[in-house]
Amino acid sequence: MNKLGNLSFFGKVLILFLATQVLGIYLAVRILPEFGGQTIQDVNDFSFYHVAMIVLVAGVFFFITSRFPRFGSFVFRLFLTLIIFTMVQLFFSFWFNSLNSTILALAVVVFFWIVQLVLIQNLIMIITLASIGALLGVSVTPITAVIILVILSFYDIVAVYKTGHMIKLAEIMIRAKAIFGFVVPAQVRGLMSSMKTVVPGEQFMILGSGDVILPLILAAALVRISLWHAAVVVVFSAVGLFIMGLLFANQKIRRPMAALPPIAAASIVGYLLVSVI
């Protein structure tokens, strides 16, 4: 695929990315009153013990899913089902009572697994990822969100280029047809393709959930301060996505790349800019 074709992928990615960011900011505004007097998590609330436990759990998860692919596929499908149900229920709870939002969330999950189209995957992911980013964002301070972005950007680089385990996990996820992220087709008609036919390459590109959720966490954390601040971070994160697209398009050989670092760097620049204005 030529560079123009590569960049056309990112035009579609940008639409999905911005739709999620905008919806996430809206949901953060709706969620924020519920956090009124609650204490938000500051970086000082996290200890070496918390980090060590996260690393340990992640390591065990990777070991089990890579050694036992069938079990890994089951785990991915179960995780995706639970996260969609929980986040879609949260989304509907702003307009419906608890019972109705639960019924609607169940219906969405069933619909997701029965009608496995790329279009349905992306629409439900917009709601799911926006809800996660909004909920986590209003739970932390902006500086905590920045530190998370920095740490996970370095982790992304190591996991993709050094150990390669992020790529292996993605392969298991794709084989399980439990993709936690956006599936972007080269052609618009690809939106009506079955998820069973999705293979990353010339016809489809996948943007992982972390590349969308993490910048949204920072933007949502800024909603407490100002919607303007949050909007600026969203714009800068979109610039970071575009930079990532340029880097991807200029690869001589198409390979998976760590998408988070340029997105995170641009988001942090946006945060620093609004912090000094």
Cβ–Cβ < 8 Å for 167, 158: no
CA dist 40 and 143 (Å) reads 12
**The predicted structure's pLDDT at residue 2:** 45
Cβ–Cβ < 8 Å for 44, 55: no
**Locus of tokens 């970071």:** 240
CA-wise closest residue to 196 among 181, 176, 211: 176
CA dist 163 and 158 (Å) reads 6
Cβ–Cβ < 8 Å for 111, 120: yes
Parent domain of 92: 3-276
**Locus of tokens 């000094």:** 276
Cβ–Cβ < 8 Å for 181, 122: no
Cβ–Cβ < 8 Å for 184, 12: yes
Contacts of 218 (CB under 8 A, 6+ apart): 137, 142, 145, 146, 149, 233, 237, 267, 268, 271
| Phi, psi for 203 (deg, rounded to 5) | -100, -20
| The one-letter amino acid at 151 | I
Instruction: Report the Cα 208 to chain-centroid distance in Å.
Output: 6
Q: Give the H/E segment covering residue 206.
A: strand 204-208
Q: Which two tokens stand for residue 155?
A: 């982790």
Per-residue pLDDT of the chain (277 residues; tens, 9 = 90+): 444 455 667 788 899 999 999 999 999 999 988 765 555 655 555 555 655 666 666 666 676 766 777 777 888 899 999 999 999 999 999 999 999 999 999 999 999 999 989 999 999 999 999 999 999 999 899 999 999 999 889 888 888 888 777 777 777 788 878 888 999 888 888 889 888 888 777 688 888 888 999 999 999 999 989 999 999 999 999 999 988 878 777 766 667 778 899 999 999 999 999 988 7
Q: How many domains are there within the chain?
A: 1
CA dist 163 and 181 (Å) reads 22
